[in-house]
Amino acid sequence: MITSTSNRKAAEVRNLGKKASLRREQSLFIVEGIRMFSETPEARVRSVFVTERFLKSCPPEVREKILRLPYEPVTEEVFSSMSDTKTPQGVLAVVEQEPHTLADVLRGERTNLLVLETIQDPGNLGTMLRAGEGAGLTGIIADSGTADIYNPKVIRSTMGSIFRVPVVYVQDLRETVRELKREGVQICAAHLRGSVDYDSADYTGANAFLIGNEAKGLTDETAALADRAVRIPMLGKVESLNAAVAASVLMYELARQRRNGA
């Protein structure tokens, strides 16, 4: 049992949780809590850390999964030092990342993408991934200025979607958008100055929504690459929606159209 917060393994877990550069270098990330641990494919689990209290009280199927994997018990104090949450449940795992390429997110006419430019809030990114799974998203493409998909806050907010929706980071977002267009994907920019209402556009073919930074929106150069710019009409004094909410509205309109054969 690990009993010291200065233990090497405990320190490595803390660093993985805090440093995106270390996560990229080692191709690892942290999942925490019973829900996320249960969702994690066993083949990708490198190690598990668990408190005795959790191991004794968790559901039988979770205990059996822990016992099948390389695990190490830790004290409550040590677990709290490793945890990224205020009220730790008592189980976390070090998990291997799964790299994806552009080919992994293209599905011909069924392609349904979010293309993100400098989305910086981890909660927004995680919400987009989770909502996207529900809307049939085939993947997310993000520039290097977008938050790390393996940030612990993002992982928690995906509620397991991280394991089912591929995410691709690219160095040149605009060139990637051009490549999508060459592949026959319609590019729709979510924009306050959009020329058509979002529910008037046709998304039944291969489609990608461009979503810009929370504060500044899309850059002019990226927005100019879109085949069309769509707007979400606002009532009252609200000027715009949160980036994740706007993305969700657009994705579910696409899902509605495809479901109804519109």
Strand order in the sheet with 71-74: 28-32, 91-96, 45-51, 71-74
Which residues, in sequence order, are CB contacts of 61 under 8 Å at separation 6+?
38
* pLDDT tier, 262 (very low <50, low <70, confident <90, very high otherwise): low
Fold of the domain spanning 102-260: Alpha/beta knot (3.40.1280)
Q: With 90 as the cut, is the pLDDT of residue 39 above it? A: yes
Can you give the pTM of this predicted structure?
A: 0.93
Tell me the pLDDT tens digit for each residue of 66-82. 999 999 999 999 999 99
Tell me the pLDDT tens digit for each residue of 12-22. 999 999 999 99
What is the 3-state secondary structure of 90-119?
Answer: CEEEEEECCCCCHHHHCCHHHCEEEEECCC
Computed over every residue of the chain, the mean pLDDT equals 96
| Pairing outcome for strands 91-96 and 45-51 | antiparallel
- What residue spans define the domains of the chain? 8-96, 102-260
Write down the CATH number for the domain with range 8-96: 3.30.1330.30
